[in-house]
Amino acid sequence: MISTPAHQSPPPDLQAWLETTAPRPLPQVLETELDGVHFVVKRRRASVGGGISYALRYLRALFLGVGCKLFLGEFPRPGILLRNGLDFEAQRLRVLLADGCRVPAIWYEAPGLLVLEHVGEDLSSVIRHGSDETRSHWARLAGRDLAEFHRRGHCHGGAQIRNLTIRDNELWRIDFEENIGEALSPPLAQAYDLFQLVASLVSLRKLPVEIMPRLARDMVQGYFDVNPDARVRARLTRLGRVLGGLARVLRPLLGRLSSRDIQGFFRVADVLRGLTQP
């Protein structure tokens, strides 16, 4: 049974703090505290190069969309993928909050500004530094939690471990700017969520490489224990085959390079192929 999340209240001086800090050059994402209450401030300022940046992001989304169509059978329209940002995140959060999901409450919203409740400790830190038993517990729980989220009809779009936190011994979700759910069919969007979760696990820094496959198996098993959707499994299997094929082609050329990103790609491909083989 899914418990109703307990939310914190914003500090009473939040409005005054926002007015005071408005002229300052703050980072795009700031975790801070006021009167002992932690919160997150997201800012997006208009820039002269905004049009150029959008054009480059559109070309990147178009390239990825063509690859998705060729290898996975669906074409995510770039215009939908790029319908994102703080306004979109706030809209998604309102929907998820109304459904009782464990996501941050919105404490303040204005053009280019979003202030959110802080919802706990980073899960990736717990998995990096925990005992074997702790790591396995949270890997499996992360898979189960994503499956419950999917069964409620949602997809995350940014389901990496860095976007999961722990508060009151429960997992919470953050960062909903990506518009994957409207661009892909639900089974593929959810399979992509699960892929992101597994890929982020086996790419964690300072996590022993030899334990990654076992944790990934725990994570995927936990997911399908809760959401045994054959459509999601079929699309994850197809994605595993695509990555496995690319890895076979690229490994003779790039396999000896020590780049973390390159070796991370091969590790993800190997783990995913092992998880999706009959």
Q: What is the pLDDT of residue 83?
A: 86
What is the domain partition of the chain in residue ranges? 23-44+85-117, 50-81, 121-276
What is the Cα–Cα distance from 41 to 62, expressed in whole angstroms?
31
What is the Cα–Cα distance from 144 to 167, expressed in whole angstroms?
16
Q: Angle CA(125)–CA(139)–CA(234) in degrees, nearest 5?
A: 130
What is the Cα–Cα distance from 87 to 114, expressed in whole angstroms?
8
Q: What is the pLDDT of residue 274?
A: 82
Q: Angle CA(145)–CA(4)–CA(119) in degrees, nearest 5?
A: 65
Q: Which two tokens stand for residue 11?
A: 């500090």
Q: What is the pLDDT of residue 2?
A: 65
* Three-class DSSP category at 16: helix
| Per-residue pLDDT tens listing for the chain (278 residues) | 567 899 999 999 999 999 999 888 888 999 999 999 999 999 987 665 666 788 888 898 899 899 999 889 999 999 898 888 899 999 999 999 999 999 999 999 999 999 999 999 999 999 999 999 999 999 999 999 999 999 999 999 999 999 999 999 999 999 999 889 889 999 999 999 999 999 999 999 889 989 999 999 999 999 999 999 999 999 999 999 999 999 999 999 998 888 888 888 898 898 888 877 66
Q: What is the pLDDT of residue 278?
A: 61
Residues 6+ positions from 151 with CB-CB distance below 8 Å: 226, 227
Nearest to 217 by CA among 232, 231, 198, 203: 198
Q: What is the pLDDT of residue 45?
A: 77
Burial class (CB in 10 A: 0-12, 13-18, 19+), 63: exposed
Total-model pTM = 0.93
Looking only at Cα atoms, what is the longest distance across the chain? 60
Q: What is the pLDDT of residue 50?
A: 62
121-276 topology per CATH: Transferase(Phosphotransferase); domain 1 (1.10.510)
Nearest to 63 by CA among 52, 80, 75, 48: 75
Residues 6+ positions from 165 with CB-CB distance below 8 Å: 119, 120, 121, 122, 123, 171, 172, 173, 174
CATH number of 23-44+85-117: 3.30.200
Kindly report the backbone phi and psi dihedral angles of residue 226, in degrees, each rounded to the nearest multiple of 5, phi listed first: -95, -35
Q: What is the pLDDT of residue 259?
A: 84
Q: What is the pLDDT of residue 115?
A: 97
* Three-class DSSP category at 204: coil
